[in-house]
Amino acid sequence: MGNKQTIFTAEQLDAYQDCTYFTRKEILRLFDRYRDLAPQLVPLDYTGQPDVKLPYELIGSMPELKDNPFRQRIAEVFSEDGEGNMTLDDFLDMFSVLSEMAPRDLKAYYAFKIYDFNNDDFICQSDLVKTLNKLTRNELTEDEVRMVCEKVIDEADLDNDGRLSLEDFQHMIVRAPDFLSTFHIRI
Amino acid sequence: MIILQPSNYNDAKCNVFCVFLGHHVDDGPQRRPNRRQGAGRGGAKGRGRGKKAASEDEDEDDEDEAPRGRRVANKKKPTKKRGGDEEDDSEDEAPKRKKKGAANRKRGGKAQESDEEDSDVGKGRKGKKGGGKKGGKEAEDTKDLNKWKSNQWLSYEKSLFLGESSGDLFGFLLLEEVEEKKKLIATIRNKPWRMKRRLLDLKEAQEFVDKFEGALGKGKGRKWFAYKVMMKKKWIKFQRDFENFRTACIPWERKIKDVESHFGSSVASYFIFLRWMYGMNLVLFGFTFGLVVIPEVLMGLPYGSIPRKTVPRAEQDTAQDYSVLMDFNGYCKYSVLFYGYYNDQRTIGLLKFRLPLSYLMVGIGTFGYSLMVVIRTMAKNADVGGGDGDESEFTFAWKMFTSWDYLIGNSETADNKYASITTSFKESIVDEQENQKDENIHLRRFLRVLANFFITCSLGGSGYLIYFVVKRSQEFANRTDLSWYEKNELEIIMSLLGLVCPPLFETIAELEDYHPRIALKWQLGRIFALFLGNLYTFLFALFDEVNTKVQQKEIITRYYANYTLLLNGTGATPPPMSPADVIRGPCWETAVGIEFVKLTVSDIQVSYLTILIGDFARAVIVRFLNYCWCWDLEAGFPSYGEFDISGNVLGLVFNQGMIWMGAFYAPGLVGINVLRLLSSMYYQCWAVMATNVPHERVFKASKSNNFYMGLLLLILFLSLLPVVYTIMTLPPSFDCGPFSGKAKMFDVIMETIDLDLPAFLGTLFSYAANPGLIIPAVLLMVLAIYYLNSVSEAYQNANMELKKKMQMPESKPTKTKPGTASKGVNLERDVALASPNPNGRGPVSRPPGPRGPAPMPGDGPGRGRGRGRGAPPR
């Protein structure tokens, strides 16, 4: 990073710093990462706020994401169009939430969104099955999957409606000892 | 209906204002337009705006669609103009106001009010900006417009009336609004909104604050207030720049990230710990070199000027030999690296630098600083720790949602992780199904007891071995015909124990079948015990040596006394003697320092060689011999090494212990250590990436960072003891070091108090050092510790109670957010936004449509833009 960068104006950088958990250096680094994905698409000058979107195929191939079983969901949740195509803003947004500095509640909110595969604002049985199969690469038998999902709902569902609402999820996840350390991507 | 819609993005103040309005308006039909006017343009803030609008309405009295458009244009024009200068504006405004009649003039009269007027105008403009963009919407509402036009005059009067009576209320509202906006700016990153919206809201909030913050002060305090605001802004800017600078200075971020993605967070935690250590040692290095070594080099007497700075005649022939230098004898021994080189002059150089005092202070300050940093880091870590894993009610849920480590960015690690997650799920399922078999537990318990028995045995054995070797080495010390092995027996045995025992423990620990994270802690604890035994044996051996040297010293002092007596008796002047020929005592401090430096250096050599042979050579052999070997080397017996977290962490911790102990006697040791940490960062990073494979069961490092810190604290305390003991009780050598000639090292402080500080301070200190004062002080401190301890316990209990209460099954869990209070995350409102029914919040009859920029960035959720409703309608 040079001090004479012209990618963003000073105001833009300040605004990004206010809106994310990143410092100036990190924002510029993230921009570089973003640009490296498709140097021909992304201009080097963002002062005019160009309308550039990178397709999911590029985003998902980042080394940080490519081994993540939930990469598609992450991209979908954080992209504005819901299909995983990301603008720079979405990109920054994603890594801001996944950064070390983001508070637990914010992370929990987005984790909920990620695990809510069908976007119905509830994590229901089918979402759980999908999550579990992604986590174990379909190694568990059907009975086992069913049992685990039942157990999860049994444990975390406070209002007994057979699915997890955001409140249920947060109630459960804020107590998890490992949540903060695992829901985190260092950039 | 439109009436309610704007109140969505307005805050409570809007309602306050509307209610206020409602009090003055009696009949229904009037009330509605009023609210429309107030709320539609931004509610409370819109008082001035409403007035303004009203005045324009007055100008172009009864018109319909077309004029309406013109009016919008009209409104826009001044907006642009005002961007430049305010004064022009108010002039612009003036003629209009005149038309408006008496009520308005009355307002203008008061000086104080004029301030508000300013802001009023600004607000109106702001609202209009939003209004202008929302033109389409407004056009839609023309029917309503027509309805309320007829009542316009009345409401106008009302608003004027209000303007008179509610000047203070308005100021108050404005203040609150500004505060709200500031809060929004500070917390905007916590909002789960899209970046675009956040940027927009941020910008508007900033503009708002910029504009109105200065207008808040009143009367005389205004300038001061503006100044304060400005300074605050500058301070925030400075803080951000500083923060940017600070993060730019943190090294090895990428390296650690690479390691983390390959090996999981547990291996990375070692490197983070290493980096932390490096930072701490850098500070220690700065102190030691800046305040002790460099002053001595620059201002002290040069080499060869006095005996303590000269190699003795007998050693001069071999002083430059490589083997001698490697043992830190010869020129090394009489260099600035060691205690003995320093002179006992009270002040040196032109600056009158008090070197002995500085030496003592740095020695003590090293411990003080380390203690402070370690404890502070521990406290911070404990704070972050957050959730406690003792509740087992969410086993499956946690496994499901937190077991994937998002940091993993390497396919091999990912494969391992998948496997370990599957295994852990299967284990839990089996556990759940079998509901814990009893016989299993007994067998496991038996195995664990057995393992601990073995380990205790081997610990005892190694302890005895060391004791035996130390005894023998004391025998050897009196002989001269020693072979190389006999000379170095102690070091060799200790290194061998350090090499053999940890793997042995690891093998035994297999019996116990703990979770790897817990196993790691056990392993750490055991090796810690082993190393501690070694360290303290070493220390005792050292103290024996020191005591013999102290006795020798007495012989030499006696000799000196006789010598001077003899000289005085004959009355002859002593012949001039070269500093190299002077008979000198054994400088035990330097000897201790040399021991520590030697130990550190051999430790570095051993650990680097271990990596080179144990990891690198092994990896090379496995990799290249695999082509011509009869079994699969990579999968079979030797395989690649795993990164040994426990061994490395302990090595680091113990090394630090050596540094702390030795730094007082060998100031150069800190420099050596900094070099060591620096090189080992690069070396180990390379080694781990090039030669090691990820652990079979990749596991997360959960809070073990604090565990490392705990070990470090323990070691710090243990290394503090011998140093403080020597400083307090042993007499310093009489002819070397900065404290020579004093009965005790800390006499330097007394001397400074007596000579440099005013007399009354000296007496004050002597009172303070009175046991009659110290004992009550110690008692008081103990009491304070006891009190604080019990208070913290009470808090903990209260915490537990609250947690229990929160977990009470309720039909609908109220928002349970333990973290909210501390982190200031403002999610509640937006959580509510995520409720399934988007229409539940207000009667909205038409689709949101393309939404203009939020007219007034309240912190209320904007429609259709919060991520909560990002989901497409199904």
Quick check: helix, strand or coil at residue B348? Answer: strand
The answer to whether position A169 is within a domain reads: yes
Element (H, E) at B692: strand B692-693
Residues A60 and A125 in one domain: no
State the pLDDT at residue B283. 94
The answer to whether position A40 is within a domain reads: yes
Q: Give the helix ranges, DSSP H, for B386-515.
A: 395-402, 411-434, 438-476, 484-487, 489-509
Residue B79 in this model has a pLDDT that exceeds 60: no
Residue A67 near residue B411 (C-beta atoms within 8 A): yes
What's the Cα-to-Cα distance from B232 to each of B209, B226, B671, B684, rounded to whole Å?
13, 10, 41, 45
The mean per-residue pLDDT over the stretch B173-191 comes to 80
Residue B76 in this model has a pLDDT that exceeds 60: no
The mean per-residue pLDDT over the stretch A97-113 comes to 87
Q: Residue A23 is nearest to which of B244, B389, B395, comparing CB atoms?
A: B244
Residues A70 and A53 in one domain: yes
Measured between alpha carbons, how far is B604 from B598 in angstroms, rounded to an integer? Answer: 10
Burial class (CB in 10 A: 0-12, 13-18, 19+), A49: middle
Residue A16 in this model has a pLDDT that exceeds 50: yes
Most confident of the ranges A4-18, A28-42, B162-176, B635-649: A28-42
Residue with tokens 């006394």: B561
Please report residues of A whose CB lies closer than 8 A to that of B815: 167
What lies within 8 Å, CB to CB, of B857 at 6+ separation is B9, B181, B184, B200, B201, B204, B205, B208
Share of chain B above pLDDT 70, in %: 65
Residue B721 in this model has a pLDDT that exceeds 50: yes
Residues A79 and A155 in one domain: no
Q: Which residue of A has its CA nearest to B400?
A: A132
State the pLDDT at residue B221. 67
Residue B163 near residue B51 (C-beta atoms within 8 A): yes
Residues A81 and A156 in one domain: no
Are residues A131 and B400, on separate chains, in Cβ contact within 8 Å? Answer: yes
What's the Cα-to-Cα distance from B710 to each of A97, B283, B388, B528, rounded to whole Å?
31, 20, 18, 12
> How far B203 CA lies from chain A's nearest CA (Å)?
8
The answer to whether position A77 is within a domain reads: yes
What's the Cα-to-Cα distance from B452 to each of B346, B531, B647, rounded to whole Å?
56, 17, 19
Are residues A155 and B394, on separate chains, in Cβ contact within 8 Å? Answer: yes
Strand partners, B353: B348
Concatenating the DSSP letter of every residue in chain A gives: --TT--SS-HHHHHHHHHHSS--HHHHHHHHHHHHHH-TTTS-S--TT-----B-HHHHHTSTTTTT-TTHHHHHHHHSTTSSS-B-HHHHHHHHHHTSTTS-HHHHHHHHHHHH-TT-SSSB-HHHHHHHHHHHHTT-S-HHHHHHHHHHHHHHH-SS-SSSB-HHHHHHHHTT-TTHHHHS----
The answer to whether position A121 is within a domain reads: yes
Residues A116 and A179 in one domain: yes
Are residues B244 and A173, on separate chains, in Cβ contact within 8 Å? Answer: no
Model confidence at B217, pLDDT cuts 50, 70, 90, reads low
Please report residues of B whose CB lies closer than 8 A to that of A158: 809-810, 812-813
Residues A96 and A12 in one domain: yes
Concatenating the DSSP letter of every residue in B795-854 gives: HHHHHHHHHHHHHS--SS-----TTHHHHT---HHHHHHTSS-GGGGS---S---SPPSP
Residues B545-596 have pLDDT tens digits of 778 777 777 777 777 777 666 666 555 555 566 766 777 777 888 888 888 8
Does ipTM exceed 0.90? no
Measured between alpha carbons, how far is A148 from B340 in angstroms, rounded to an integer? Answer: 69
Q: Residue B257 is nearest to which of A68, A152, A186, comparing CB atoms?
A: A186
Residue B226 in this model has a pLDDT that exceeds 80: no
> How far A45 CA lies from chain B's nearest CA (Å)?
18
Are residues A185 and B407, on separate chains, in Cβ contact within 8 Å? Answer: yes
State the pLDDT at residue B147. 46
Residue B665 near residue B590 (C-beta atoms within 8 A): yes
The amino acid at A175: R
Model confidence at B331, pLDDT cuts 50, 70, 90, reads confident
Pick from B168-172, B275-279, B648-652, B856-860: least confident: B856-860
Measured between alpha carbons, how far is A77 from B657 in angstroms, rounded to an integer? Answer: 49
Residues A117-152 have pLDDT tens digits of 888 888 888 888 888 888 888 878 888 888 888 888
What's the Cα-to-Cα distance from B249 to each of B95, B290, B501, rounded to whole Å?
59, 21, 39
| Closest to A25 measured CA to CA, from A35, A13, A37 | A13
Residues A18-36 have pLDDT tens digits of 888 888 888 888 888 888 8
Are residues B244 and A25, on separate chains, in Cβ contact within 8 Å? Answer: yes
The answer to whether position A1 is within a domain reads: no
Residues A182 and A144 in one domain: yes
State the pLDDT at residue A170. 86
The answer to whether position A91 is within a domain reads: yes
Q: Hey, of B183, B193, B194, B195, which one would you mutate to test binding to chain A, going by the most A CBs within 10 A of its CB?
A: B195
State the pLDDT at residue B568. 63
State the pLDDT at residue B724. 87
Element (H, E) at B592: helix B588-610
Measured between alpha carbons, how far is B712 from B37 in angstroms, rounded to an integer? Answer: 67
Residue A174 in this model has a pLDDT that exceeds 60: yes
Q: Hey, of B181, B187, B189, which one would you mutate to test binding to chain A, going by the most A CBs within 10 A of its CB?
A: B189
CATH number, domain containing residue A182:
1.10.238.10
Share of chain B above pLDDT 90, in %: 7
Residue B202 in this model has a pLDDT that exceeds 80: yes
Q: CA torsion, points A93, A95, A96, A97, in degrees to nearest 10?
A: 90
Residue B48 in this model has a pLDDT that exceeds 60: no
Q: What is the CA radius of gyration of chain A?
A: 18
DSSP letter at B353 equals B
State the pLDDT at residue B131. 39
Domain that holds residue A44: 8-102
Measured between alpha carbons, how far is A31 from A23 in angstroms, rounded to an integer? Answer: 12
Q: What average pLDDT does chain B have? A: 70
Q: Hey, of A175, A179, A183, A187, which one would you mutate to test binding to chain B, going by the most B CBs within 10 A of its CB?
A: A175
Q: Residue B311: which region, alpha, beta or left (left: phi > 0; alpha: psi -120 to 50)? A: beta
Q: Residue B825 is nearest to which of A19, A89, A106, comparing CB atoms?
A: A106
Residue B96 near residue B124 (C-beta atoms within 8 A): no
Please report residues of A whose CB lies closer than 8 A to that of B410: 67
The mean per-residue pLDDT over the stretch B658-685 comes to 91
What's the Cα-to-Cα distance from B403 to each of A77, B67, B417, B706, B737, rounded to whole Å?
20, 64, 9, 21, 58
Q: What is the CA radius of gyration of chain B?
A: 39
State the pLDDT at residue B220. 62
Please report residues of A whose CB lies closer than 8 A to that of B263: none
DSSP letter at B84 equals T
Residues A81 and A149 in one domain: no
State the pLDDT at residue B783. 94
Pick from A157-161, A180-184, B419-423, B661-665: least confident: B419-423
State the pLDDT at residue B865. 41
Measured between alpha carbons, how far is B211 from B200 in angstroms, rounded to an integer? Answer: 17
Residue B756 in this model has a pLDDT that exceeds 60: yes
The answer to whether position A3 is within a domain reads: no
Residues A108 and A177 in one domain: yes
Give the count of domains, chain A: 2
State the pLDDT at residue B573. 56
Residues A98 and A110 in one domain: no
**In the listed set A67, A102, A137, which residue is the last one of a domain according to the structure?**
A102
Q: Which residue of B has its CA nearest to A131?
A: B400
Are residues A103 and B405, on separate chains, in Cβ contact within 8 Å? Answer: no
Residues A167 and A180 in one domain: yes
> How far B401 CA lies from chain A's nearest CA (Å)?
8
Model confidence at B412, pLDDT cuts 50, 70, 90, reads confident
Q: What is the pTM of this model?
A: 0.63
Q: Which residue of B has its CA nearest to A20?
A: B189
The answer to whether position A129 is within a domain reads: yes
State the pLDDT at residue B466. 79
Concatenating the DSSP letter of every residue in B645-659 gives: HHHHHHHHHHHHHHH
**In the listed set A49, A83, A102, which residue is the last one of a domain according to the structure?**
A102
| Closest to B2 measured CA to CA, from B47, B32, B30, B22 | B32
What count of CB pairs under 8 Å joins A to B? 234
State the pLDDT at residue B56. 42
**In the listed set A44, A79, A102, which residue is the last one of a domain according to the structure?**
A102
Tokens of B754: 């007596």
Are residues B190 and A105, on separate chains, in Cβ contact within 8 Å? Answer: yes
Model confidence at B289, pLDDT cuts 50, 70, 90, reads very high
Strand partners, A123: A164
Measured between alpha carbons, how far is B770 from B499 in angstroms, rounded to an integer? Answer: 51
Please report residues of B whose CB lies closer than 8 A to that of A64: 261, 409
Pick from B220-234, B334-348, B674-688, B734-748: least confident: B220-234
Measured between alpha carbons, how far is B21 from B169 in angstroms, rounded to an integer? Answer: 13
Element (H, E) at B262: helix B253-288
Helix axes A10-19, A88-97, angle to 10 degrees: 40
Higher pLDDT, B851 or B608: B608
| Distance in angstroms between the alpha carbons of the first and the last residue of chain B | 25
Helix axes B65-82, B111-133, angle to 10 degrees: 120
Pick from A144-153, A172-181, B154-163, B246-255: least confident: B154-163
Tokens of B366: 């090293």
State the pLDDT at residue B287. 92
Please report residues of B whose CB lies closer than 8 A to that of A122: 836
Residues A80 and A111 in one domain: no
Please report residues of B whose CB lies closer than 8 A to that of A175: 387-388, 391, 394
Quick check: helix, strand or coil at residue B866? Answer: strand
